[in-house]
Amino acid sequence: GIQVEQSPPDLILQEGANSTLRCNFSDSVNNLQWFHQNPWGQLINLFYIPSGTKQNGRLSATTVATERYSLLYISSSQTTDSGVYFCAVDENYGGSQGNLIFGKGTKLSVKP
Amino acid sequence: DSGVTQTPKHLITATGQRVTLRCSPRSGDLSVYWYQQSLDQGLQFLIQYYNGEERAKGNILERFSAQQFPDLHSELNLSSLELGDSALYFCASSVGLADGWAGELFFGEGSRLTVL
């Protein structure tokens, strides 16, 4: 099955700093989503981005499907950005039904 | 608020017992997915239903079963519980069109199961 690798596994930032999280995947995909899991365990949708670039406030994401990677940019980080960021993909082959395969996540800690 | 509702939010039970977790998908979504998140295994896909029918199976144990009802809500049944079943169980839903394009998945807040 498809492999999803995220880097770095851990990241500590000072408030106000910028960061880039990376997601590599081993095969072509129908769907790629980025999630933020907050300290209370909620999985919050950030981006649905199988290809291209999107921006939402201080966050933006780019997926280069032909090279099988996606990047999540966080600018001017805030303490509320802390948590785990997951990349998840849906395999693009016959029979795929939409279920997402998750990477292990990047744990982000933003210090005041 | 994702629009996906899961109950109960927390559940504590003993080994050997059986529990049922419930999920109501977003209005209009036909696909429901169940995931398990444990500390050592990460987020694992368990099973998917589309409009009442099972569509895909992941790493779901034989002690676990699920179904999707005509009103599209879904239940995940966990039986003969073991300590290792303690985890956060998520339900997700998507539009889930018949041609296989599922669309964006939205997750509920999860049901935290503790087996003592």
User: Exposed, middle or buried by CB within 10 Å (0-12, 13-18, 19+), for A75?
Assistant: middle
Over residues B50-77, mean pLDDT: 94
Is the pLDDT confidence value at B27 over 80? Answer: yes
Alpha-carbon span A69 to B88, nearest angstrom = 28
Chain B residues in contact with A42 by the CB 8 A cut-off are 107, 109-110
Q: Which residue has the higher pLDDT, A92 or B107?
A: B107
β B74-78/B64-68 pair status: antiparallel
pLDDT digits (tens, 9 = 90+) for A67-97: 999 999 999 999 999 999 999 998 766 555 6
Q: Tell which of A99, A102, A106 to mutate to test the B interface (max B CBs under 10 Å).
A: A99
pLDDT digits (tens, 9 = 90+) for A13-64: 999 999 999 999 998 888 899 999 998 999 999 999 999 999 999 999 999 9
Instruction: Sort residue A57 into left (φ over 0), alpha (ψ -120 to 50) or beta.
Output: left
Chain A residues in contact with B49 by the CB 8 A cut-off are none
Contact B94 A98 (CB under 8 A): yes
Contact B105 A100 (CB under 8 A): yes
Retrieve residue B43's tokens: 């987020």
Tell me if A33 sits within 8 A of A48, measured CB to CB. Answer: yes
